[in-house]
Amino acid sequence: MKQSLLLQEAYQSTVPAERETHFKKKKIHKRNKQQQQHKTVFAGNANTDWTMSTDQAVKMDSQPPDSMMTEWGVDLSPKQDKGVCKVIMRPGDEAEYPMTGDRVSVHYTGKLLNGKKFDSSRDRNEPFTFNLGRGQVIKAWDIGVASMKKGEVCQLMCHSEYAYGVSGSPPKIPPKSTLIFEIELLNFKGEELTEDGGVIRRIKQKGEGFSNPNEGAIVEVHLEGRSGGRVFDSRDVQFVVGEGEDHSIPLGVDRTMEKMQKGECCLIYLKPQYGFGDEGKPEFHIEPNAELVYQVTLKDFEKAKESWEMSIEEKLEQAVGVKQKGTQYFKVGQRFILLFISVTCLAWLEMECGLVEEKQRAVHDLILVTQLNLAMCHLRLREYTHAVESCDKVIELDSSNEKALYRRGEARLLKNEFSLALRDFGRVLEVNPKNRAARTQISVCKRKIREHHEMDKRTYANMFQKFAERDAKVRKTKLPRDDSTKEERINPPAKHRRRSREHL
């Protein structure tokens, strides 16, 4: 007992700093044993790797957060001014990094230097999502998250010039505050350029300035196309935006040009409808409905005039050219391209007003033709509602347009709106009694209406039959009980008197 008290007294007389160091060493050793590794990795890129001894880890833990991050973290700031320092707490599990424009999803906790927490996505149990490199978050995040891998957890120290600046973000973040974030990169994916996800872009190298090619611009690019890991196309090419098909460039790449900047290098992932479609590309040995990946570098471009810069003569000339190309594209089955160029043509013409009669008539005729092309295109793409809308716009301008009435009738027939389709085909015959196709379609509509009525009759007949059978079963189960109850009311059962003990 005396020995143990002496040991305890000796232990208590140990220098407090040494005792604290002892416990920290023990704690770090236990953590490293659990993780089966005796190192902590700090990295700013894939090639940076430092290992730290236990004594160094103790030294780091004993430092204030800002000096610790500055000494042990990796400086990611563009000016190398220690404005953004990063320490990896848990390495990522993949080799790939997010790219500019990617949609990234993270969990984070933000603290001031005094340790006070001001925000956390984990408290809300909801990941935070943003587009990387688009200025949607503070500068330090755009810089720091770009250096992370999926699954990685890091601490990020952000000086005020890379965070909320001299004004801060009252009331939680004071002016000129240096912040510490713990960030976990959960996932990332490319930027979707179309609503259906058919074209996805990932920017490998950001371009210069803020100017983009427009419709009709002349662009110089280097492109490399892959399918199933095989390179099928690699070349330098110059073409006009909107006319890439003339150079065997798929629609998705053509459309992406308007989103790029000079010097940009990006990966473009294409679904079949934005690639070479259901016909493939025999000259490149591309099978039908193949998904493609292009790497495209925009070397230079010359913008075309915007519609508001063009004279009416220039717009008419452009529209006539678009009309001719649209006919060619439709013949070879490039309906998506026809769709895009038709919409562009309409954007040029629909806002024109106050023209002399001759030019107004030319604009009117081109709008009619373009809307009719759109209607046909929507029909072939099975977008029947859009087809009806295009025909409606033609009929507003020309109520007796035979093609618009017929195509609207086709769209309504395919939507199973038989009565409306019958009315449209009837109006076609009023305009042109010799239209045999309309007569045939009228017969089809009448037959469909009869079939629909017969189907309704059978449906309702079966429905009523089932109701009748159910009611009969209900009556059958209820009648015996009702009869017995009635009989009991008329002739109630005699009550049995209990015999007295005297009669036993």
Active site residues: 108, 118-119, 138, 164, 181
Q: Which residues pair with 173 in a beta bridge?
A: 169
CB-based contacts of 83, cutoff 8 Å, min separation 6: 77, 140, 158, 159, 161, 162
Residue 192: CB partners within 8 Å, gap ≥ 6?
Answer: 103, 199, 200
Distance CA 20, CA 15 (A): 9
Specify the amino acid at residue 94.
E
Joined tokens for residue 46: 């894939």
CA distances 117 to 21, 62, 94, 121, 226, Å, are: 27, 20, 30, 11, 48
Positive/negative CA dihedral, 66, 67, 69, 75: positive
The helix/strand count (H/E) of the chain reads as 14, 13
SS3 333: coil
The DSSP bridge pattern shows strands 179-189 and 153-158 to be antiparallel
Kindly provide the residue ranges of all beta strands, DSSP E only, lying in 194-264, ordered along the sequence: 199-205, 218-227, 230-240
Q: What's the chain's length in residues? A: 504
